[in-house]
Amino acid sequence: MTVVSVRNLTVTAADRAIVSGASFDLAEGGITALVGESGSGKTTTALSLLGEKPPGAEVSGSIEVAGETVDPAHPPAAGTIGYIPQHPSAALNPVRRIGPVLREIARLHVRAGSRRERRELVRQRVLEALRQAQVPEELLHRYPHQLSGGQQQRVVLAHQLIGRPRVLVADEPTTGQDAVIRGQLVEEFRSVAARGIAVLLLTHDLDLVRALADHVLVMNRGEVVETGPCEEVLGAPRHPCTRRLIDAQPDPAATGRAAPEPGDPVVSVRGLVAGHRRVDTVHDVTVEVHRGETLAVVGRSGSGKSTLARCLAGLHPHRSGEIRLGDTPLPPLLRKRTPEQTARIQYVFQDARASFNEFAPVLDQVARTAERLRGAGRTEARRRAAGELARLGVTEASASRRPAELSGGELQRAALVRAALARPEVLICDEITSGLDTTTQADLLDVLEELQDDTGCALVVITHDLAVVAGRSDRVVIVDGGRIVERGRTAEVLAEPGHPVTKDLVTAAVRFTAGTRARPD
Amino acid sequence: MRRYAVPATLVAVPLLLAVLGPLLASHDTTKDVAFLLGGGHWFGTDFVGRDVWNEVLLGGRSLVLTAVTATACSYALAVPLGLVAGMTGSRALDEAIMRPLDLLLAVPSMLMLLLLASIAPGVPWVLIGVVTLINLPDVVRISRAAALSLSSRPAVEAMRLQGESRIRIGVHYAARAMRRTLAADLGTRFTGAIYLVASASFLGVGVSPQTSDWAAMVDRNRVGLFIQPWAVVLPALLVVALSIGVNLAFDRWLRDHDPRSTFLEAR
Amino acid sequence: MTIPRYLARRALLGAVQVLLVVAGVFALAEALPGDAAVTIAGDNPDPAVIAALRERLGLDQPAWQRLGEWLLAALRGDFGQSLVGPRAVVDIIAAAAGPTLLLAALTLALLVPLSIGLGVLSARREGGLLDRLVTGTTLGLYSAPEFAMGVLVVTVFAVQLRWFPPTAVGTSLLSDPAVLVLPVFVLLLRPICSLSRLIRAGMIDAQRSAYVHHVRRLGLSPARVRFAHALPNAAAPAVQQLARTTDWLVGGVIVVEAIFVVPGLGTTLTEAVAARDLPVIQGLAVVFATATVLVNLTADIAARVLAPAAEAGR
Amino acid sequence: AGPGTTSAGGPPRPGGRLRAAFSGGGAAEVLDPHKTDLYVEIARAKALFDKLADFGSDMSPVPRLAERWEPSADLTTWRITLRQAAFHDGRPVRAADVLASFARITEPGSSRRAKSTLSVIDLPNSREIDERTVEFRLQRPYGEFPNALATLGAYIIPEGTANFDRPIGTGPFRFVAFEPGRTFLAARNPGHWDGAPLLDELEIVVTNDEAARVNALLGGQVEYAHDLTPTSARTHESSGQVQVHRLPLSNFHGLAMKVDRPPFDRPELRQALFHLVDREELVRSVLQGSGQVCNDIYGKGYRYYADALPQRRQDLDRARALVRQAGAEGMTIGFDTSDASTGLKEAALAISDQAKEIGLHLEVRLGNKDTYWSDIASNGVLAGYRSGGMPLESHFSQRLLTTSTTNNTRWQRPEFDARYHEAQSTTDEQRRAELYREMQETLFHEGGFLWWGVSDWIVASAPGVHGIDDRAPANTLDWARFDGVWLA
Ligand SMILES: Nc1ncnc2c1ncn2[C@@H]1O[C@H](COP(=O)(O)OP(=O)(O)OP(=O)(O)O)[C@@H](O)[C@H]1O
Ligand SMILES: Nc1ncnc2c1ncn2[C@@H]1O[C@H](COP(=O)(O)OP(=O)(O)OP(=O)(O)O)[C@@H](O)[C@H]1O
Ligand SMILES: [Mg+2]
Ligand SMILES: [Mg+2]
């Protein structure tokens, strides 16, 4: 049965159609995937189901959710549509612990019974949701900032799984998840759908689409250019856009770059220990990054990858050990580092949206790097920034808007440019491809390679996407529980994983793609 | 501009009176019976028989000027301090800023006023200094509290990685994120400063007793509230109008210049 | 840093602060013109009498010596005798602390819910009629000075309508609670504005944040969304202002104490300063400084709780 | 018993408790009658104790515990006969109590209020003639010695009293309870020598804020409110909710110019000020009409006052000419004032405005109110001044003799001193009056004080209160006297 029916949806803002004439239905128990290039209007379409629109935008067309007409003046009843935002960190209240909020949500769905019974039911419901969303129970006492990016995302998922919405809209729900968890989440989404919930999945991950979706909608520049059953659309794409997306998918079987011989170490980390409050989350890590190489950092969600990266960037003071940049030891604190040192190691944040100042145009912010760290003049810096952004497909017009008016993928690219403008010797990229469609992702990786060739910059790529790892990195380190458990040349490690964790990750990824991807011949 | 009509009127009337008043006022010093209602005076006479309207004309300029300067001074000093204390990663720096200010808070402000009154009577700068000093720790604390939750945001970390100076982060990000809080506080603090100026002039700091002053008028004429209400009500109304107007204008302006939108952040 | 260690360090710092404040206040009071002997002599300032008084009160000794002696005695818990009256400083302060604390506690108990309520209410629709009404009213009351409000309130509710007693003359605050109504009312008028404005500002910002939006989408009731999710994020600046209000209630409500004849700490301080009664001023300084230190400590802990992420960054 | 009544309320009725609100001094207040400084302390002392004499409404001494006094011919020995009176504990009042009381007041090292006045007595040589007769030997001839007996704080306490926690006196009321700065309760003394008071109880509450006193009165929390501003009086007089009593000739307002230093060492400049001040305007605006103009000399309406002198009025031309003569045109002169007493500051503002018209710039400086009197005693040249009521003799001796301790105008003239001493050495009232007239004439022309007005003391009472004397200036016998008051 159709739960959501959208007809001729058009959203215009600033004389430009963000979405134009989209029509589709969501059926009870069906999983529909909405795919398309970054900035094609996916999030905007999804949010219009909730009766939300960009400020100043005009919405036309009709939306019906569970028989009720929805428009910005009449949003659907709270709880009808579950929504998992693309950037989950902002959805978590910074001053509330995880557990109480989950219980609060659960209480909405537990009626009947005595107080004791209710309490027990609430507890069960919370535990159930935690299990489904793969959130360990010990995180209940934590504040959101005490979670890793992937954990935050799963907590938000748990919020939605507690309730019983008619429709679940999930905007990139697996971007921050490792292969193992992703596999488990696929099962959960299936069971959600099996409960009769209509699922709208917004994603770039075509493997995920193949694994889950019954139906696929492809968007391009605000228009739905192709729709149909999953196998049909992805198996025999008709629209060039769709074809491009499929073609650009990285090859998981790639065997790493033809790596140059390792240069001198730019950064060497020795015996690094770091942690939060009393617990250590990074233990005795020793690793070197060589000039011009690409080092992939892979590990389960919550294994300490971001913490390690932040230590390098000077954002998280380590407890002991040493980080050397060239021959000089680096002070642990950013404010003790010279601008020169700051410029030489740059970090691209996992959550791009949160890393922008919401009050200033993105372009201005991006350009500041060139001004501050490379001594460029104001106009020169802007020119450079605009150029780099354009290379990645973000127009100057978009970039001149405030962060809130850019799509997730656009911001991710802007964040990369912001760091790259410092012309760093080491560029740490924390999940920078996660929010990007395959085409843009490929472009971005090409641009990075160019940068590497031009400047001899070393890349540290933190990612869950083993395909990216396989195709683009020279060496890989596998992190687990804050320790490096395996390291080596990418091709070798992926081909013959030594550590159980690596094995798990690789098998999960392979199983995932093998089961879904019809290998192009 | 129509949306600003109400706040603009509320601010303009007292402000114009304050600025132009002294030009229109008569400097005739003869006195009538104190607290006369009518008797050839538009708004009666005050506690020593001076014409209330004339006093109102005379009494705005210095008051508004000192209150504005004092509030501006306290903000100019306090907000940067609060930002630094709230956003610094160094606990030592935070404490080094906050604990001495706590000392200032712990000294009864009346004692401070009294002392300054006796040390340097009649100097407007002293008055501005006192009012600034009294407000300083409060504003520092409020802005520190507001800044504290900003300090750990990735946006701030990203700016630091760009090599941005503390000042720039403060001005371009933190101050903007806090602007609503600061405006709310500034609005009420300005009003507070008006009365602080008055009570200080009552103690003899700053404004000399010969000078007319709205807030001091309210204070000195209060005994006559029931036989000659104008002497209190008129200046009080002007202060009220000024204060409500300033605050409403802030509110309006913040609403019109709101770069935020939930929709897009919650995506 | 863990909370107990933090507390221990702040307690130590607090003791130093109190000491410094007391020394500072001593210096301030010394710097004031005249001394107890002069004020006792009053409008009959016979130099011989003043000199005799000085000698009797020990005021002829050097200042540092008097401060030292006072501090030594204070460490033993002896705050000395008033210079102008026959009573012990401790008795004087204890007698005045009762009414002050009672008034302060009552006012705070009403102030917090009221200002939160008003702030949240006016933030419901920014710029709406209700918002402007609340803003206008609270600001109007704020900008009308408290003595004027006091006089007005007494005239209307006590003298004309006779609903409440006009002053606390001749009764004790506890035996006749009706006496408390008007002073508490007047005490509320000012802080309610500054607090509710801050809450309003914070609430508007918080209500637009993604996390509030998120829980709203989840179907939490509007009240829960406001009070359990938006308010904790909005409250940080208001908590600091509340701390200042508490300070003021403990030591600075001189006007209200005068209008309603409540013999509290503020009045005692005014009188002691007027009489240059140094031991009493010193004793009060200890009380006020301790109160401020405690209030600040509480406020700082609240600030930590309300910005949990900030601590991690340190 | 008691003074004449002014309001008709039927025949006096005994009973009831009168609650009176005074301003006070907080925790520092004491019940020691020898240390009375504040009005509230005087009122309490008056309820509990008696003096040998007290001032009548024209400031002439009226016998109280003293039945009569007889001086020797040379006015250096005075024999006082005591009334048959008893302390609250039943002990009779004896000559020994009088001597002991005065000895306590004048004790070396003490700072008791009446000390300087009573030190005229040569106590070691004074003696008890019998139980009820005392003979005072004086240091010098003192024709107005009864003034000293009536002086503030010269109360008689039982011999050997050192502790005033539960004071025992001879007054119309006996002590019940006291909390400094808050309340005082006393009950009728049925055995009072002047007849028992009508009230059962007298409660005195301390209320520093004037508005609060009025409100308490309006709200029925007290029946008597002491010390109101003219504004409050005007506000409530007509409403009929309260009775307003204006006690005339209570509070003198003036200026003190220091005659020993420039610029006021030039008599012309002092005279210029005499002619400058618009007394009517000051009375109208500063006193709000609640008072009368004075003629620059102290003591209007009191015994020996020189009322034959012509009333001075503002004469700007004359003033201008005098300023010129003094060479003070365009001069800036510091003018000290403060909030130490009501009207002080307002008067200063008004006078400095008036002075502008003759080209004198009087720069008003607001001083610290707590130390004002002591500050102006030595510093500055021109200061706002006030004085309560006292006999002319006291005014002269305390403020205008070379040896005076509070000689704020630095008026030090041997011939003036000589006249004073002569007046005290003569038994001839006429001669004394003549001498006083001459002294006042000198002051009128070139003195350092400019008394421009005298204000009423305003008290108010609830409608049912009767027996309050409406003529007694503050600090005289019938002011704040509750033994003749009754409630109807
Ligand atoms: N403030 C904190 N207090 C305690 N534990 C924390 C805190 N911050 C992070 N952690 C924990 O530290 C571990 C490492 O976090 P980190 O962000 O480095 O993980 P990650 O490898 O980047 O994971 P993801 O892939 O999900 O982003 C996680 O298990 C996280 O729960
Ligand atoms: N207020 C606005 N004014 C103008 N353009 C806007 C506004 N808000 C969004 N856009 C633009 O609309 C386009 C669609 O945004 P949307 O967030 O829907 O993209 P998306 O498909 O979700 O992309 P992504 O995959 O990167 O998240 C983007 O190019 C964005 O820049
Ligand atoms: Mg999107
Ligand atoms: Mg991470």
D344 pLDDT exceeds 50? yes
Chains D and B physically touch (3 or more Cβ atom pairs below 8 Å): yes
Q: What is the DSSP letter of A336?
A: G
Question: Which one has a higher pLDDT value, B119 or D335?
Answer: D335
Expressed in angstroms and rounded, the spacing between residue C288 Cα and the centre of ligand 3 is 56
According to DSSP, the β-strands at A58-65 and A215-220 are: unpaired
CATH number assigned to the domain comprising residue A299: 3.40.50.300
As a whole number, mean pLDDT of residues D118-146 equals 92
A228 and A272 together in one domain: no
The model's confidence at residue A474, banded by pLDDT at 50, 70 and 90, is confident
> What is the pLDDT at residue B260?
56
A508 and A468 together in one domain: yes
A414, part of any domain: no
Expressed in angstroms and rounded, the spacing between residue A46 Cα and the centre of ligand 3 is 9
Question: Are residues A219 and A34 in contact, defined by beta-carbon separation less than 8 angstroms?
Answer: yes
Encoded amino acid at A380, one letter: E
* Chain-chain contact of A96 with C210 (C-beta, under 8 angstroms): no
Within a 10 A sphere around the Cβ of B148, how many other Cβ atoms? 26
Contacting subunits of D (3+ beta carbon pairs below 8 A): B, C
Which ipTM did the prediction report? 0.87
Q: How do residues D80-130 score in pLDDT, each as one tens digit?
A: 999 999 999 999 999 999 999 999 999 887 778 888 889 899 999 999 999
* Chain-chain contact of A359 with B177 (C-beta, under 8 angstroms): yes
Expressed in angstroms and rounded, the spacing between residue C100 Cα and the centre of ligand 3 is 58
| Least Cα separation, residue B25 to chain C (angstroms) | 25
A374, part of any domain: no
Selected residue of A86, A95, A311 to mutate for chain C interface (largest C Cβ count, 10 A) = A95
The model's confidence at residue D293, banded by pLDDT at 50, 70 and 90, is very high
> What is the pLDDT at residue D222?
93
DSSP secondary structure string, A131-152? HHTT--GGGGGS-GGGS-HHHH
Strand partners, D54: D62
Please state, in angstroms and as integers, the Cα–Cα distance from residue A427 to each residue in A291, A299, A323, A436, following that order. Answer: 11, 19, 15, 19
Contacting subunits of B (3+ beta carbon pairs below 8 A): A, C, D
Selected residue of A52, A93, A126 to mutate for chain C interface (largest C Cβ count, 10 A) = A93
A11 and A111 together in one domain: yes
Chain C residue numbers with beta carbons less than 8 Å from the beta carbon of A91 are 210-211, 213-214
- Sheet with A265-276: list strands edge to edge: A279-290, A265-276, A320-325, A328-329
Question: Are residues D49 and D155 in contact, defined by beta-carbon separation less than 8 angstroms?
Answer: yes
Please state, in angstroms and as integers, the Cα–Cα distance from residue C135 to each residue in A57, B60, B193, D202, following that order. Answer: 31, 24, 19, 49
A519 pLDDT exceeds 60? no
- Interface residue B118 vs chain D (CB under 8 A): yes
Q: How do residues C81-116 score in pLDDT, each as one tens digit?
A: 888 877 888 988 998 898 999 999 999 999 999 999
The model's confidence at residue A66, banded by pLDDT at 50, 70 and 90, is confident
Report the residue of chain C nearest A354, measured CA to CA. C210
> What is the pLDDT at residue B205?
54
C120 pLDDT exceeds 90? yes
Main-chain dihedrals φ then ψ at residue D77, nearest 5 degrees? -130, 130
Show which of A188, A220, A247 is a domain's final residue: A247
> What is the pLDDT at residue C100?
92
Report the residue of chain C nearest D222, measured CA to CA. C169
Chain B residues 170-229 within an 8 A CB cutoff of chain D: 204, 208-210, 222-224, 226-227
Q: Is the CB of A149 under 6 A from ligand 1?
A: yes
Show which of A247, A278, A306 is a domain's final residue: A247
Peptide bond before residue D61 is cis, with ω within 30 degrees of 0:
no
As a whole number, mean pLDDT of residues A230-249 equals 86
Contacting subunits of C (3+ beta carbon pairs below 8 A): A, B, D
A272 and A205 together in one domain: no
Q: How do residues A355-394 score in pLDDT, each as one tens digit?
A: 999 889 999 999 999 988 888 889 999 999 999 999 888 8
As a whole number, mean pLDDT of residues A161-182 equals 88
Question: What's the CA gap between D411 and D382, in Å, rounded?
Answer: 14
Q: For residue A216, give its domain range.
A: 2-247
Of D350, D357, D366, the CB nearest to B31: D350
3-state SS string for chain D: CCCCCCCCCCCCCCCCEEEEEECCCHHHCCCCHHHCCCHHHHHHHHHHCCECEEECCCCCEEECCEEEEEECCCCCEEEEEECCCECCCCCECCHHHHHHHHHHHHCCCCCCCCHHHHCCECHHHCEEEECCEEEEEECCCCCCHHHHHCCCCCECCCCCCCCCCCCCCCCCEEEEEEECCCEEEEEECCCCCCCCCCCCEEEEEECCCHHHHHHHHHCCCCCEECCCCHHHHHHHHCCCCCEEEEEEEEEEEEEEECCCCCCCCCHHHHHHHHHHCCHHHHHHHCCCCCEEEEEECCCCCCCCCCCCCCCCCCCHHHHHHHHHHHCCCCCEEEEEEECCCCCHHHHHHHHHHHHHCCCCEEEEEEECCCCHHHHHHHCCCEEEEEEECCCHHHHHHHHCCCCCCCCCCCCCCHHHHHHHHHHHHCCCHHHHHHHHHHHHHHHHHHCCEEEEEEEEEEEEECCCEECCCCCCCCCCCCCCCCCCCEEC
A187 and A296 together in one domain: no
Q: How do residues A73-105 score in pLDDT, each as one tens digit?
A: 888 888 889 899 888 888 899 999 999 999 999
A161 and A204 together in one domain: yes
The model's confidence at residue D41, banded by pLDDT at 50, 70 and 90, is very high
A269 and A241 together in one domain: no
| Least Cα separation, residue C91 to chain B (angstroms) | 21
- Interface residue B119 vs chain D (CB under 8 A): no
Question: What end-to-end distance do the CA atoms of chain B give, in Å?
Answer: 33
Chain A residue numbers with beta carbons less than 8 Å from the beta carbon of C214 are 83, 85, 91-92, 156, 159
A63 and A198 together in one domain: yes
As a whole number, mean pLDDT of residues D240-244 equals 89
A258, part of any domain: no
Prediction pTM value: 0.89
As a whole number, mean pLDDT of residues C202-216 equals 89
A326 and A187 together in one domain: no
3-state SS string for A461-486: EECCCHHHHHHHCCEEEEEECCEEEE
Q: How do residues C251-284 score in pLDDT, each as one tens digit?
A: 878 888 888 888 889 888 888 888 888 888 889 9
Ligand nearest to the CA of A11: 2
Residue ID of nearest Cα to ligand 1 atom 27? A149
The three-class DSSP label of residue C49 is helix
Report the residue of chain C nearest A160, measured CA to CA. C218
* Chain-chain contact of C44 with D373 (C-beta, under 8 angstroms): yes
Main-chain dihedrals φ then ψ at residue D385, nearest 5 degrees? -145, 155
Q: How do residues C164-182 score in pLDDT, each as one tens digit?
A: 888 888 777 777 888 889 9
D148 pLDDT exceeds 70? yes
Buried b (16+ CB within 10 A) or exposed e, D211-244: bbbbbbbbbebbbbbbbbbbbbbbbbbeeeebbb
A386, part of any domain: no
Main-chain dihedrals φ then ψ at residue D193, nearest 5 degrees? -65, -25
pLDDT mean across residues, chain A: 87
Question: What is the share, in percent, of chain D residues with pLDDT greater than 90?
Answer: 66
Q: How do residues D407-429 score in pLDDT, each as one tens digit?
A: 999 999 999 999 999 999 998 98
A390, part of any domain: no
Of B164, B177, B261, the CB nearest to A368: B164
Within a 10 A sphere around the Cβ of A203, how many other Cβ atoms? 24
* Mean pLDDT, 10 residues at a time, chain B of 267 residues: 80 90 80 78 83 87 87 93 86 88 81 69 74 90 88 89 88 88 90 77 56 79 83 88 88 77 52
> Which contiguous run of DSSP H or E holds residue B256?
helix B230-256
Question: What's the CA gap between A332 and D56, in Å, rounded?
Answer: 89
Question: What is the share, in percent, of chain C residues with pLDDT greater than 90?
Answer: 24
Count: domains in chain A: 2
Q: Which atom of ligand 2 is nearest to the CA of A46?
A: 18
Q: Which atom of ligand 2 is nearest to the CA of A204?
A: 25
A26 and A154 together in one domain: yes
- In the structure encoding, which two tokens stand for residue A256, read together? 């790493």
- In the structure encoding, which two tokens stand for residue D182, read together? 């808050």
The model's confidence at residue D1, banded by pLDDT at 50, 70 and 90, is very low
Q: Is the CB of A151 under 6 A from ligand 1?
A: yes
Q: What is the DSSP letter of B174?
A: I
Q: Is the CB of A144 under 6 A from ligand 1?
A: no
A381, part of any domain: no
A338 and A231 together in one domain: no
Main-chain dihedrals φ then ψ at residue A18, nearest 5 degrees? -80, -40
A409, part of any domain: no
The model's confidence at residue A256, banded by pLDDT at 50, 70 and 90, is low
Show which of A214, A247, A280 is a domain's final residue: A247
- In the structure encoding, which two tokens stand for residue D284, read together? 């109208």
A103 and A173 together in one domain: yes
> What is the pLDDT at residue B81?
92
A229, part of any domain: yes
Any residues with Cβ below 6 Å from ligand 2, and which? Answer: A 13-14, 18, 36, 38-44, 54, 86, 398, 405-410, 435
Q: How do residues D155-169 score in pLDDT, each as one tens digit?
A: 999 999 888 999 999
* Chain-chain contact of A156 with C214 (C-beta, under 8 angstroms): yes
